[in-house]
């Protein structure tokens, strides 16, 4: 009798199960209310959800349909909980059957996630330094993460975000995925750190902030053609005969650039430095100077047109100011500072040191003089009296 009863119950329960799965109404008006309505849980973490079935319809049978965890009833509230959720792809459903065989159920969307075990960045089919303008493939390998459709991988060069890639794979169980990015390095990327990070976008119901795992860094070496440091002036350069000439075409590049200058007075290269110098120009130095800066990546060249002004009269210093503008202070005691007026460009600079000498620099000597004067006067007075 008892055994029969047990069998009947088992039979009924399994019948109801298959019955629910196949023909349960998911769109009924009085659906079971799930709290929370969506579950995002890390693999191995605890989870619990309450289901409130219709309170007015006196359900005869109600519960959760789920293979793991425990259920507990409090009136028309039935809670499901699990200490460690270690199932992938669970889809719990809360159901009830009310009078007149009215069946109703609600599905609980569950996302079981697992942050990546390891994230690492590398180049695909490449080794060593890169060249500006060429294209390379960066790859970010993400180990053992789920769900892969929520995976976003972001590539960085230093703090500069290169791009974000989304996985196209699907699946509930953890997978390893390698996402690729075409990368055309710029010269600014030379010496920067390349890295990627994997993030699981789990939405508002997921953990805040979302799980992120960063890769190791690899240092980028970018070879690029020489870039001139300064803006090249297209104006012709005019220099007076006898004066020095200095032309600068210093540039940056990787590898370090080399320089070749061609000048009008010699046909071959006359300098291999970034700065071309002539101590004293002659009329033969007039003409076009070309600086060629190069490394194996490329070449940049600059032209300088130099005009030499030939002096016809005797050489007179241009910086001389006529001595008439120099006011000779009456208090000057040391005339040697004024004897060379050719170097004087501003008369006030001459006046200042001489004016200050007796008044400010040495007050003690003038007070000594006064002292002596008073002393002598006193002596003279005493002699006279």
Ligand X SMILES: *[C@@H]1O[C@H](CO)[C@@H](O)[C@H](O)[C@H]1NC(C)=O
CB of 148 to ligand X, least distance (A): 18
Q: Does 362 bind ligand X (CB under 6 A)?
A: yes
Sketch the per residue contact string, 7 through 46, with ligand X: x for CB under 6 A, - otherwise: ----------------------------x-----------
Only segment of 48-56, 84-92, 220-228, 375-383 that touches ligand X (CB under 6 A): 48-56
Compute the distance between CA of residue 284 and CA of residue 245 in angstroms, rounded to an integer: 13
- Of 236, 264, 323, 353, the residue at the interface with ligand X (CB under 6 A) is 236
- Of 269, 337, 348, 356, the residue at the interface with ligand X (CB under 6 A) is 348
Given the complex with ligand X, which of 144 and 227 has the nearer CB atom?
144
- Of 18, 27, 56, 127, the residue at the interface with ligand X (CB under 6 A) is 127
Q: Which parts of 187-226 interact with ligand X (CB under 6 A)?
A: none
User: Alpha carbon of 311 to those of 24, 40, 246, 307, 315: distances in Å?
Assistant: 108, 88, 20, 13, 7
Only segment of 163-171, 201-209, 250-258, 343-351 that touches ligand X (CB under 6 A): 343-351
CB 172 within 8 A of CB 91: no
CB of 321 to ligand X, least distance (A): 8
DSSP line for 101-152: GEEEEEE--EEEEB--SEEEEEESS--S-EETT--EEEEEEEEEEB-GGGEE
Q: Does 324 bind ligand X (CB under 6 A)?
A: no
Q: Sheet of 47-52: strands edge to edge?
A: 33-35, 47-52, 77-82, 70-74
Q: How many CB atoms lie within 10 A of CB 105?
A: 22
CB 91 within 8 A of CB 106: no
**Alpha carbon of residue 77 to chain centroid:** 53
Sketch the per residue contact string, 248 through 287, with ligand X: x for CB under 6 A, - otherwise: ------------------xx--------------------
Q: Does 305 bind ligand X (CB under 6 A)?
A: yes
Token pair 């060429």 is at which residue?
134
CB of 333 to ligand X, least distance (A): 13
Only segment of 195-203, 293-301, 326-334, 340-348 that touches ligand X (CB under 6 A): 340-348
- Of 120, 193, 227, 292, the residue at the interface with ligand X (CB under 6 A) is 120
Only segment of 148-156, 244-252, 307-315, 356-364 that touches ligand X (CB under 6 A): 356-364
Q: Does 288 bind ligand X (CB under 6 A)?
A: yes
209 cis-preceded (ω within 30 degrees of 0): yes
CB of 306 to ligand X, least distance (A): 9
**Which contiguous run of DSSP H or E holds residue 7?**
helix 2-23
Parallel, antiparallel or unpaired: strands 237-240 and 299-309:
parallel
**Alpha carbon of residue 143 to chain centroid:** 26
- Of 229, 327, 365, 366, the residue at the interface with ligand X (CB under 6 A) is 365
Given the complex with ligand X, which of 49 and 251 has the nearer CB atom?
49
- Of 23, 330, 364, 382, the residue at the interface with ligand X (CB under 6 A) is 364
DSSP line for 270-330: ---SSEEEESS--GGG-EEEEEEEE-SS-EEEEEEEEEEEPP-S----TT---GGGS---T
Q: Does 129 bind ligand X (CB under 6 A)?
A: no
Compute the distance between CA of residue 182 and CA of residue 308 in angstroms, rounded to an integer: 53
Given the complex with ligand X, which of 282 and 362 has the nearer CB atom?
362
Compute the distance between CA of residue 214 and CA of residue 142 in angstroms, rounded to an integer: 10
Point out which residues bind ligand X (CB under 6 A): 35, 48-50, 79, 118, 120, 127, 234, 236, 266-267, 288, 303, 305, 345-346, 348, 361-362, 364-365
């Amino acid at each position: 009798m008892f055994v029969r009863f047990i069998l009947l119950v088992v039979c009924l329960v399994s019948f109801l199960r298959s019955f629910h799965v196949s023909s349960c109404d998911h769109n009924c008006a009085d659906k079971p209310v799930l709290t929370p309505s969506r579950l995002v849980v890390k693999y191995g973490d605890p989870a619990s959800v309450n289901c409130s079935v219709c309170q007015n319809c006196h359900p005869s049978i109600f519960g959760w349909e789920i293979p793991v965890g425990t259920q507990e009833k409090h009136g028309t509230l039935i809670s499901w909980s699990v200490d460690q959720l270690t199932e992938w792809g669970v889809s719990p459903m809360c159901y009830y059957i009310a009078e007149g065989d009215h069946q109703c159920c609600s599905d609980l969307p569950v996302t079981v996630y697992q942050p990546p075990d390891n994230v690492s960045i590398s180049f695909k089919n490449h080794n060593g330094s890169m060249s500006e303008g060429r294209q390379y493939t960066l790859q970010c390998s993400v180990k053992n993460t789920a769900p892969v459709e929520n995976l976003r991988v972001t590539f960085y060069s230093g703090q500069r975000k290169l791009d974000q890639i989304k996985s196209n794979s699907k699946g509930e169980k953890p997978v390893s995925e390698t996402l690729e990015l075409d990368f055309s390095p710029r010269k600014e990327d030379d010496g920067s750190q390349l890295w990627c990070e994997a993030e699981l976008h789990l939405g508002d119901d997921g953990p805040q902030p979302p799980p992120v795992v960063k890769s190791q860094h690899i240092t980028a070496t970018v070879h690029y053609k020489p870039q001139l440091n300064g803006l090249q002036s297209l104006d012709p350069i005019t220099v007076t005969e006898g004066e020095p000439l200095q032309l600068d075409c210093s540039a940056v590049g990787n590898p370090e650039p080399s320089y070749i200058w061609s000048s009008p007075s010699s046909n071959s290269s006359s300098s291999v430095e970034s700065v071309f110098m002539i101590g004293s120009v002659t009329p033969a130095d007039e003409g076009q100077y070309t600086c060629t800066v190069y490394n194996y990546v490329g070449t940049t060249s600059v032209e300088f047109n130099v005009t030499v002004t030939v002096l016809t009269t005797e050489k007179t210093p241009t910086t001389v100011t006529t001595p008439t503008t120099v006011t000779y202070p009456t208090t000057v005691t040391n005339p040697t500072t004024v004897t060379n007026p050719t170097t004087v460009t501003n008369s006030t600079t001459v006046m200042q040191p001489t004016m200050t000498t007796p008044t400010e620099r040495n007050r003690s000597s003038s007070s000594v003089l006064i002292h002596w004067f008073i002393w002598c006067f006193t002596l003279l007075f005493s002699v006279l009296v």
